[in-house]
Every structure is written in structure tokens, then in C-alpha cells.
Amino acid sequence: MWLGPVPDRPYSPDYTHSVFRGWYDFGGGSFADMGHYSMWTVCDAWDLDVPAWAEGYGSKGCRTLNFATGGFTNDFSFPLAACMKLHYNAKGTRGPIDVYWYDGGMRPPVIPEWKKIKS
């Protein structure tokens, strides 16, 4: 009964507490978990509704096996870090706008002009 509508599996403490949101069967990752709170003021200020399109990039899973490292296909959980670009079409007097979401340690690229200010 603890599984709800997802396929049957044995219990694991990895499915509990806050980490359940990262599993495909139990949540929607950090964007689905925190995005609606974090993006509220942006959407409200710019009168954004539904994005015309979106694209995303996530961190890759790596492991070491028999002293060799390599990537693996992650088909069970959301990436530990991600970047998403949401494009909104023009609306009213506002032109088109792109909104970016970064999480899990991913950061936007440093603007060259900012590097000059820091030096």
C-alpha cells in the first residue's frame, strides 16, 4: 500500500524522506518540487503562462567498475544537477523571453564583463 500507483518493489529507505522526489516513480525532480515556488515571482512579474517550448540538460551518471570509469544510462531518477531553458512567446507589449533554471550545483556561464570587474 505504501507504493500507491507505482509498480511493486521491496521497501528501501532510499525511497523515503526528501529523496523520494528524485525517483521517476515518486516525484518530478527539483524543478517540479521547488520550481513552482521559486518561479512564481518571475512568472507573475513578466505575465508568463505556459512556455512555448523548453529544453534541458542534466548531469551524467558515472561509476567505477573493475578499476574503469564510465557513464551509465540512468533510467530511474532525475539527474543530480540540471539546467533548463524555458521560452515564452511575446505577449501584449512584452517581447519573447527566455527563463533559465539551474539546480544541483550547475551555474550559468560567467559573463566576460563581470570577469573584468572582479580583477
Mean pLDDT in residue range 17-37: 79
Tell me the per-residue pLDDT of 48-65, one tens digit each, with 9 for 90 and over. Answer: 999 999 999 888 777 787
Angle at 111 between CA 54 and CA 104, to 5 degrees: 50
Distance of alpha carbon 41 from alpha carbon 43, whole angstroms: 6
Question: pTM of the prediction?
Answer: 0.73
* DSSP E strand stretches across 1-119: 53-58, 61-65, 68-72, 82-88, 97-103
Task: Report the candidate in 30, 94, 81, 86 with the shortest Cα–Cα distance to residue 55.
Answer: 86
Assess whether pLDDT exceeds 70 at residue 118: no
